[in-house]
């Protein structure tokens, strides 16, 4: 009897020990599975044959783990996609937390504000030293509605000089009260604003240029109608003035149309192999009369150019380039000065130089003479019949041929315009 009881007790205690061990093992496996899930590693099923609560939890884990893994994988995929989209964006995007520390910046924001991988976690005020950006951050965090505005910041792109950029900013705060952070998007609109300003300036310039001759025409006409029509001392003179101003208007409109067509790409030149020498000779000769009338020492030097020297250009384009440059040289050179048109070859380029001994261009104006309507001396240019558009037309024409133009000048000594055109070599004929 005693032995029976002892035996039963042994059996029961062994069974309890086995159950406890199995549960312990099941709990260990469960702990490993949870840890793997937490670390983002693949989990293994917790295969246990224990019952009770531990068994239920293990089975629940086995059901839940693959679902969680799939969800985590999907989240990771979404995160990667979001990063790819953000890094491909032209706009700079930064995310900050409630303490104004940088949480994320995309590649454009890095470039715009000179950020790098070490910037995350640091205060935005430390990283971007712009009071405008700080104001945008504060208003985004505490404003009632999403922030929208335009700011100007100094920006230095890798190794480049400091430049001022105009940025359109949109800021949205993250949920919570107070908000948990904010996302700000910066769109660089510097070029857009520059073009807008150029367009406004252009419209103002055109209106002004049209207004001046029209006002003259109107004044002379009124004077003629009032009293001067039958006064032979002045009536013819006034009519000549009206004609002059009408010619000026006409030239201005022709230049404007030509420039508009060139800029819009509508001006279709037929750039083909062109022998330069006859074109240059014809152009230079057509101006000789005017140069001689001003007693200019007028020289054409074709240098090494011959009939074989070709460029890929439309004859009309080359004519317009030379016409403008020679016309200016004669216009801005006083009586008895010199105007020289010279040609040379340099590598694979043909170089055309128009040099005069005229009034010259001040150093600070040199870079701007190719701009539309830019004139060093407005009154003098108008008096000489200039529209201020000639050199910008020349620049477009030279570029359309694939060449370049530069200018050198000294006030009182003269000016030299140098046009560089790529030389064209015909394919050797097969015999």
CA dist 361 and 413 (Å) reads 9
Q: Name which of 105 and 329 has its Cβ closer to ligand ADP.
A: 329
Write out the H or E segment, with its range, that includes residue 94.
strand 92-97
Which residues, numbered 384-423, are part of the site for ligand ADP (CB under 6 A)?
386-391, 415
Q: At closest approach, how far in Å is the CB of 373 from ligand ADP?
A: 8
Provide long-range contacts, Cβ within 8 A and 24+ apart, for 130-134: 130/154
Work out how close the CB of 327 gets to ligand ADP at its nearest, in angstroms, rounded to a whole number: 8
Q: Is the peptide bond before 178 cis (omega within 30 degrees of 0)?
A: yes
Q: Are 21 and 49 in contact (CB under 8 A)?
A: no
- Under the binding rule (CB under 6 A), the answer on residue 353 touching ligand ADP is no
How far separated are the first and last CA of the chain, in Å rounded?
A: 127
Closest to ligand ADP by CB, 218 or 410? 410
Nearer to ligand ADP, 106 or 381 (CB): 381
What's the angle, vertex CA 131, arms to CA 82 and CA 133, rounded to 5? Answer: 15
Q: Which of 137, 317, 322, 369 binds ligand ADP (CB under 6 A)?
A: 369
Q: Tell me how far, at minimum, the Cβ of 350 lies from ligand ADP, in Å.
A: 21
**Is 377 in contact with 384 (CB distance < 8 Å)?**
no
Report whether 205 contacts 373 (CB < 8 A).
yes
Angle between helices 315-331 and 276-293 (to 10 degrees): 20
User: Residue 343: CA atoms inside 13 Å, Cβ hemisphere, count?
Assistant: 21
Strands (E) in 195-309, as ranges, are 272-275, 297-301
- Does residue 337 interact with ligand ADP by CB under 6 A? no
Question: At its nearest, how many Å lie between ligand ADP and the CB of residue 343?
Answer: 18
- The residue within the footprint of ligand ADP, chosen from 108, 155, 320, 381 (CB under 6 A), is 381
Residue number, 274 or 397, with CB nearest to ligand ADP: 397
Q: Would you count residue 332 as binding ligand ADP (CB under 6 A)? A: yes
Cα 416 to Cα 395: distance, rounded to the nearest angstrom: 15
Is 377 a binding residue for ligand ADP by CB under 6 A? The answer is yes
Give strand pairing partners of 313.
Answer: 272
Q: Which is nearer to ligand ADP, 25 or 342 (CB)?
A: 342
State yes or no: residue 65 binds ligand ADP (CB under 6 A).
no
Which residue's C-beta sits nearest to ligand ADP? 386
- Shortest Å, Cβ 196 to ligand ADP: 23
Q: Smaller CB distance to ligand ADP: residue 329 or 350?
A: 329
Candidates 376, 401, 405, 421: give the one binding ligand ADP (CB under 6 A): 376
Our CB check for ligand ADP shows the closer of 93 and 361 to be: 361
In the complex, what is the shortest distance from the CB of residue 403 to ligand ADP, in angstroms, rounded to a whole number? 18
- Tokens representing 263 are 């800029």
Does 358 sit near ligand ADP (CB under 6 A)?
yes
In the bound complex, what is the minimum distance in angstroms from residue 348's beta carbon to ligand ADP? 27
CB of 83 to ligand ADP, least distance (A): 51
For residue 296, the minimal CB distance to ligand ADP (Å) is 12
Indicate whether 328 belongs to the interface with ligand ADP (CB under 6 A). Answer: yes
In whole angstroms, give the CA distance from residue 386 to residue 371: 14
Burial 310-348 (b: 16+ CB within 10 A, else e): bbebbbebbbbbbebbbbbbbbbbeeebbbbbbbeeeee
Q: Is the dihedral of CA 81, 87, 90, 91 positive or negative?
A: positive
Under a CB-based contact definition with an 8 Å cutoff, are residues 172 and 182 in contact? yes
List the one residue from 267, 314, 353, 356 that touches ligand ADP (CB under 6 A).
Answer: 356
Out of 46, 109, 276, 359, the only residue in the binding site for ligand ADP (CB under 6 A) is: 359
Say how far residue 22 (Cα) sits from the centre of its chain.
Answer: 70
User: Smallest distance, Å, CB 356 to ligand ADP?
Assistant: 5
Residues that bind ligand ADP (CB under 6 A): 324, 328-329, 332, 356, 358-361, 369, 374-377, 381, 386-391, 415
């Amino acid at each position: 009897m005693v032995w029976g009881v002892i035996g039963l007790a042994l059996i029961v205690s062994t069974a309890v020990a086995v159950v406890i061990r199995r549960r312990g093992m099941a709990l260990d496996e469960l702990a490993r599975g949870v840890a793997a899930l937490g670390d983002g590693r693949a989990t293994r099923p917790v295969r246990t044959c224990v019952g009770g609560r531990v068994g239920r939890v293990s089975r629940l884990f086995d059901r839940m783990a693959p679902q969680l893994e799939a969800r985590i994988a999907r989240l990771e995929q979404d995160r990667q996609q979001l990063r790819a989209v953000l890094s491909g964006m032209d706009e700079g995007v930064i995310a900050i937390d409630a303490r104004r520390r940088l949480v994320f910046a995309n590649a454009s924001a890095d470039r715009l504000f000179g950020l790098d991988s070490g910037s995350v976690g640091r205060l935005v005020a430390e990283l971007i030293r712009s009071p405008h950006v700080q104001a945008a951050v504060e208003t985004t965090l505490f404003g009632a509605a999403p922030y929208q505005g335009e700011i100007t910041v100094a920006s230095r792109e890798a190794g480049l000089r400091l430049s001022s950029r105009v940025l359109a900013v949109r800021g949205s705060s993250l949920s919570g009260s107070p908000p948990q952070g904010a996302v700000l998007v910066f769109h660089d609109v510097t070029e857009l604003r520059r073009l807008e300003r150029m367009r406004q300036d252009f419209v103002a310039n055109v209106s002004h240029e049209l207004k001046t001759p029209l006002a003259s025409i109107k004044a002379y006409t009124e004077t003629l109608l009032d009293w001067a029509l039958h006064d032979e001392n002045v009536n013819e003179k006034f009519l000549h003035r009206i004609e002059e101003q009408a010619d000026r208007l006409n030239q201005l409109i022709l230049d404007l149309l030509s420039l508009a067509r060139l800029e819009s790409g509508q001006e279709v030149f037929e750039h083909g192999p062109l022998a330069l020498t006859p074109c240059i000779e014809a152009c230079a000769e057509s101006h000789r009369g005017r140069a001689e009338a001003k007693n200019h020492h007028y020289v054409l030097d074709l240098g090494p150019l011959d009939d074989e020297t070709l460029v890929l250009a439309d004859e009309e384009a080359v004519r317009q380039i030379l016409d403008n440059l020679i016309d200016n040289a004669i216009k801005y050179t006083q009586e008895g000065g010199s105007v020289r048109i010279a040609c040379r070859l340099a590598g694979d380029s043909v170089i055309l130089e128009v040099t005069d001994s005229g009034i010259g261009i001040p150093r600070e104006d040199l870079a701007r003479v190719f701009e539309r309507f830019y004139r060093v001396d407005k009154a003098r240019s108008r008096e000489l019949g200039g529209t201020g558009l000639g050199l910008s037309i020349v620049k477009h024409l030279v570029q359309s041929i694939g060449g370049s133009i530069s200018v050198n000048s000294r006030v009182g000594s003269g000016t030299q315009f140098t046009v560089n055109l790529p030389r064209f070599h015909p394919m050797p004929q097969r015999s």
